[in-house]
Amino acid sequence: MYRSTKPADTAELTELIYGAAFGDCGWQDFLDRLTTTMPNGRSALHYHDLASPAACVPYVSGFTPDAIDQFNDHFAAINPWIPKSVLVPVGRGLSGEHIVSRAELTKSEFYNDWLKRQTGSETTVGVTIVRSPTRTLLLSTCTSSTDEDLNQQAADHYTLLAPHLKRAFDFLRRRDLMMAEQHEGRTLLDTIGVGVIYVGDNLRIRSMNHNAERMAANGSPFRVAVNGRLFMDEPETNAALELLASPVGAPAQPQLRVVRTAEHGAFRITLVRRSATIFTELLDGPTVAVLIEPATSLIGDLRHDHLKDHYGLTPAEIRIACGIAAGLTLKEMSQANGVSYETTRTQLKSIYAKTRVNSQAALVKLLMR
């Protein structure tokens, strides 16, 4: 059955991503909305271990249970896109034709007996969210569209969603790592060290979690005025916050920034305008969630000394190594450390040489021993 399309902007889908991460909604809500953005869309969050023929598809929308069972039992192992997905850049949205040519795809058993016959689809659009040496987490939407321009527009949209998806899964991964230390009554974001502030009209603070309160008391990249208004110390971040909180016009896109303070180091800041009913916005104005993470890792002082003494890493290289362990990108580390992107790349190559690893995944594994 043909399913009509309903365009969605990045802000709407990003709101659902963070809502799923914070427990305000579910991943099913996100996928159900995503399916409507492509002709005859059928979306899935799926995990693949390249050492195993099986796949894990925990969330789907638009697929029949029988189609998913067949995919898990047989077709995942012969899906021509999966082996080549390891060559696809993480975070870049692509259509299926950019991974496997259409001529090759249409000759495959996967296409003829599953993709076309079971789902009525012609191709897929997707993005790799997380990748380790053998495992890959992907978001993809099968579609009946063969319009290259339309599919490319969708792929570009997935590229915009990718950093938000990675952040959401980073939150969930870190929550799971620290679950054993979690105390009753503490929220997810308190547990993983993220400060959360909700601001409304005129940037007045509506609420903040325990981490944000501690940051306000002990030093942070923001200030709270006597009238309860929030001000970000970095001017561009503050301007982005004002734009998101403005009741005039359409909501702006979510913002991700890394800022550095003179006394308290670097912070990664995410600004997201939360959705609300029209009546809530009319009465209370918009609400913006401000997420503040210290741009540090779980590596303690003893590990810092070990990196210096055993591997000969310089202080700058230790900062890069810690940033990688914290999940920062090279661009974010460049911003946090106040150096160029090329300098950060050079420092990373030096770290690889000194620690005798050749990938960020291997470096993280070494750092967490």
Measured distance CA(189)–CA(175) in Å, rounded: 8
- Give me the numbers of helices (H) and strands (E) for the chain, helices first please: 17, 12
CA distance 333 to 338: 8
> In this structure, is the dihedral angle defined by the CA atoms of residues 213, 217, 220 and 225, taken in order, positive or negative?
positive
CA distance 333 to 342: 11
Q: Check residue 323 and give its pLDDT.
A: 73
Mean pLDDT to the nearest integer, 163-169: 85
In one letter, which amino acid is 296?
Answer: T
The 10s digit of each residue's pLDDT in 50-80 is: 666 666 788 899 999 999 889 888 898 899 9
Least confident piece of the model among 76-90, 113-127, 275-289, 329-343: 275-289
CB-based contact 198:207 (threshold 8 Å): yes
> Is the pLDDT confidence value at 155 over 90?
yes
Residue 321 has pLDDT above 90, yes or no: no
pLDDT, one tens digit per residue, over 176-185 is 444 433 433 3
Query: Using one digit for the tens of pLDDT, what is the confidence trace for 82-114?
Result: 888 778 888 899 999 999 999 999 999 999 999
d(CA 339, CA 332): 10
- Please tell me the least confidently modeled range out of 41-45, 289-293, 332-336, 355-359: 332-336
What residue type is 267 in one-letter code?
Answer: F
- Summarised one tens digit per residue, pLDDT across range 195-227 is 888 888 788 898 888 888 888 887 788 999 988
Inter-CA distances, 190 with 11, 281, 310, 355, Å: 25, 27, 34, 33
Q: What letter does residue 201 receive in the DSSP assignment?
A: G
198: left (phi over 0), alpha (psi -120 to 50) or beta: beta
